[in-house]
Amino acid sequence: MATKTAPKAEKPAAAPKAKKAAEPKAKAAGAKPNALQQPLKPTAELAAIVGTAALPRGEVVSKVWEYIKKHNLQNPENKREILADDKLKKVFGKDKCTMFEMNKHLAAHLKSA
């Protein structure tokens, strides 16, 4: 004799959890920008490459890389090495430096605006 089993009672589907909308943090009026966003004034040597306006550190690095690529100043055998022209020699203080050393040299040529 075959017995019929009653269908199992299914649990009601749980309501999906409401996700909080990712809201950008509202900046307080007059909030001070963080260190990477702080506008810095380049020295005369660096201004010859990036311009005289005060710029955040990230933009200075981007402009220096634009200059390096535009003037083909990367070592073809080792792309991490930068071969300085006359303008970059004034900033780096030597004929060539690595891309990792570059930020150290740039920091010496940036002052608070």
At 73, phi and psi to the nearest 5? -100, 5
Provide the CA 92 distance to its chain's centre, in angstroms.
Answer: 21
At 98, which CATH number? Answer: 1.10.245.10
Residue 103 lies in a domain: yes
Residue 100 lies in a domain: yes
Is residue 32 packed enough to be buried (19+ CB in 10 Å), middle (13-18) or exposed (0-12)?
exposed
Secondary structure in 3-state letters for 37-69: CCEEEECHHHHHHHCCCCEEHHHHHHHHHHHHH
Tell me which residue range forms the domain holding 106.
39-112
The structural domain count of the chain equals 1
Residue 7 lies in a domain: no
**Contacts of residue 67, Cβ cutoff 8 Å, sequence gap at least 6:** 49, 50, 73, 87, 88
Mean pLDDT, 10 residues at a time, the chain of 113 residues = 64 59 54 79 95 94 96 95 95 94 93 85
pLDDT of residue 37: 86
Residue 102 lies in a domain: yes
